[in-house]
Structure 1
Amino acid sequence: MSDAERLAGAGAHLLLAEDDPSAARVLRMILEHSGYRVTVAPDGETALRILDEQGPPDLLLLDWMLPGISGLEVCHSARQRWDALRLPILMVTARTDPESIYAAFDAGASDYVGKPFRGAELRARIESHLRTQRLWAERQEMEEHLAERDKIFTLGLLAGGVAHDLNNPLAVISGHAQVLQRRVQDPQTAEHLAEILAAVDRCAHIVADMLNFARRHPAERIPVDVAQVLHATLGMRTRKLATGGVDLQVDVADDLPIISGDGHQLQQVFLNILVNAEQAVGERGTVRVTARAVPASADDRDVVVEFWNDGPRIPPELLPRIFDPLFTTKAGEEGTGLGLFICRRIVREHGGTVEARSNAEGTTFTVCIPAHPPAPPARS
């Protein structure tokens, strides 16, 4: 959940430091009635411990006169760690003389509410600070999104240029290696030349990935039989899977609807995910591919294709990043980090979604494509 979503409307988490049980009970009742989640600390030491263990709440309410460590000290300590946009601090106290108010703001308080207070005033002040915090969080997310767009755009330009520049020398290397391979008599030299050609082929695949990454064009819109595309894709890998000891299980429903899209691009998506599954299970394991139609509305259905494998779990901290450009979980030089990014882009251009989930039982990639003609995709 993003910061903006967390702060939207009621449900924000407030930490209340108040040593008077009656006052704490009343304040908690007022705040929870307004929809906030409230944690109560009976003294300054407890408030600091909660901040250390749980991190900053959405807003901190402090009574000045706390036993042991005062609310003013808690305010000063908290403000040294988090600024006013990340953690608004409201002093709620009977000390309303000018010197006390000055001292509170000097310690880093965001606002000051005198006792006795009116519930409506307190709620209004809290919501005002949370609104400011929410706008700040939204701005942060927008700036991060724009920075990501700029990075991807620049990366696309570089990828396209590098890919085109690499094609010519790769062609020269491949051509000379093939000529030498036909002439050579020494088996060891022939083996070395085969390794060179294999490396060139791998480089060519990387170049193709880079060009696909750099290419920005909408998918064609023609009738596509997803079942046919899927069976053709599986046919390309069936022999490889069987010889590698992988158990391929296929269950494609007979009633898949025709979609509007680009069959070649969808085949690229299916093939990429399937190869990832092969690499995940290694020399022995199970890959299961299923396809079905699910209702999307009264008149439309979605085509859902799932690829499951029983290979190692993708770590939870890495799972949200697997569709990022240049990110890969593969060891060594096995992956370019562009395949899944391209898959997501293609599926989105078809108006669909691609998601991944992973646990101890295995990893599943789910591709969902609407059967009805989707609207032109928004540029991201």
Structure 2
Amino acid sequence: MNRPGASRLDSELTNLELLGLLSSRIIHDLKNKLAVISGHAQFAEMSKQNPQVATSGMAIIKRVSEEAGKHVEALAKLRRTLPTERHECEPAEALAVLTELLAGRQGWELRAPNTGSLSKLAVERRWLRFILRHFLSACSGAQGVVIVDQARGEVPAEGADVAPLFPDRQCFRVRISYAAAPGEKPPLNEDPILQFQTLAVYELIRKLEGGLVQQAGPDGREEIVILIPLVQTPARA
């Protein structure tokens, strides 16, 4: 199945917003590496046993790492310019998004039992659509079911792509189950745009303090479980 938007970024999200989602991870990783480089460079400079040439080289490493650190700080400023307030989405809006994404997909069914008591989702509607569209577009099965309900964010951390930060928090749970073709394996996706989108989706779920599990379900079916926290919903006893 050809994935919509495979040759471009999702038109509903700006490049700046996607960059902002990824910048936190990039900054963290780069800062750790730069700290190691800078620390070793300073140690070499202070060591009288190092040859003069090596000391000069370490000085260059230190200077370059400091310059790179300034670029990282500039990226951090870019990240801080993005909105940080918590956005919300009504349950009815979330169901409307799923209905829209499944429209025209024969053999797919949306089930939403007992969603009348759901509170608001702690995510903006367009971000929710970005997440759901990403995973639904990747489902190659001709038949599938999407089940929406409320559940705690409890998933085994070792089996989760993204483990919920607060496992006792009540969540809007989306379970995507579809029958994969016999012997079919997901193709290796080398499209850098889709790789970028995948990283952005994972980072967004982390930012929302939600969870993600992709696993083999019963009867040879594939299953994707997405957890989006609800707004101000204390854990049930």
Other structure's SS at 2:96 match: helix
User: TM-score normalized by structure 2?
Assistant: 0.51
Other structure's SS at 1:337 match: helix
Cα distance in 2 between the residues matched to 1:206 and 1:261: 17
Contact kept, 8 Å, 2:102 with 2:108, in 1: the verdict is no
Shift of the alpha carbon at 1:202? 5.3
Q: Which has the higher contact order (CA 8 A, sep 6+)?
A: 2
Contact kept, 8 Å, 1:230 with 1:270, in 2: the verdict is no
Match of 1:214 in 2: 19
Match of 2:230 in 1: 371
Cα distance in 1 between the residues matched to 2:19 and 2:122: 24
Are positions 1:306 and 2:179 aligned together?
no
Cα distance in 1 between the residues matched to 2:111 and 2:120: 18
Shift of the alpha carbon at 1:289? 0.5
Shift of the alpha carbon at 1:229? 2.1
Match of 1:131 in 2: none
Cα offsets for 1:12-55 (capped at 9, x unmatched)? xxxxxxxxxxxxxxxxxxxxxxxxxxxxxxxxxxxxxxxxxxxx
RMSD: 3.6
Cα distance in 1 between the residues matched to 2:92 and 2:86: 17
Cα distance in 2 between the residues matched to 1:257 and 1:208: 25
Contact kept, 8 Å, 1:354 with 1:366, in 2: the verdict is yes
1:238 paired residue among 103, 120, 130: 103
Match of 2:215 in 1: 357
Other structure's SS at 1:221 match: coil
* Aligned partner letter, 2:133: L
Contact kept, 8 Å, 1:308 with 1:364, in 2: the verdict is yes
Are positions 1:268 and 2:130 aligned together?
yes
Cα distance in 2 between the residues matched to 1:222 and 1:331: 32
Shift of the alpha carbon at 1:263? 1.7
Contact kept, 8 Å, 1:224 with 1:263, in 2: the verdict is yes
Shift of the alpha carbon at 1:234? 2.8
Other structure's SS at 1:344 match: helix
1:229 paired residue among 94, 106, 128: 94
Cα distance in 2 between the residues matched to 1:206 and 1:269: 11
Match of 1:337 in 2: 195
* Aligned partner letter, 1:288: V
* Aligned partner letter, 2:144: V
Other structure's SS at 1:308 match: strand
Match of 2:112 in 1: 252
Other structure's SS at 1:228 match: helix
Cα distance in 2 between the residues matched to 1:204 and 1:272: 13
- CA spacing shift, 1:348–1:218, aligned 2, 3 Å: farther
Shift of the alpha carbon at 1:340? 2.8
Q: Higher helix fraction: Structure 1 or Structure 2?
A: 1
Contact kept, 8 Å, 1:230 with 1:267, in 2: the verdict is no
Q: Which runs of 5+ in 1 are unaligned?
A: 1-200, 316-327, 375-380
Larger radius of gyration: 1
* Aligned partner letter, 2:147: T
Cα distance in 1 between the residues matched to 2:223 and 2:84: 25
Match of 1:104 in 2: none
- CA spacing shift, 1:306–1:227, aligned 2, 3 Å: farther
Contact kept, 8 Å, 2:93 with 2:125, in 1: the verdict is no
Cα offsets for 1:228-250 (capped at 9, x unmatched)? 223224314412x13xxxx1111
Pairs aligned (count): 151
Q: Which runs of 5+ in 2 are unaligned?
A: 22-81, 154-165
Shift of the alpha carbon at 1:352? 0.5
| Mapping 1:1-380, distance limit 5 Å | 203-205=7-9, 211=15, 213-216=18-21, 217=82, 220-239=85-104, 241-242=105-106, 247-253=107-113, 254=115, 255-277=117-139, 280-281=140-141, 285-295=142-152, 301-312=170-181, 329-330=187-188, 336-358=194-216, 361-373=220-232
Match of 2:48 in 1: none
- CA spacing shift, 1:300–1:357, aligned 2, 3 Å: closer
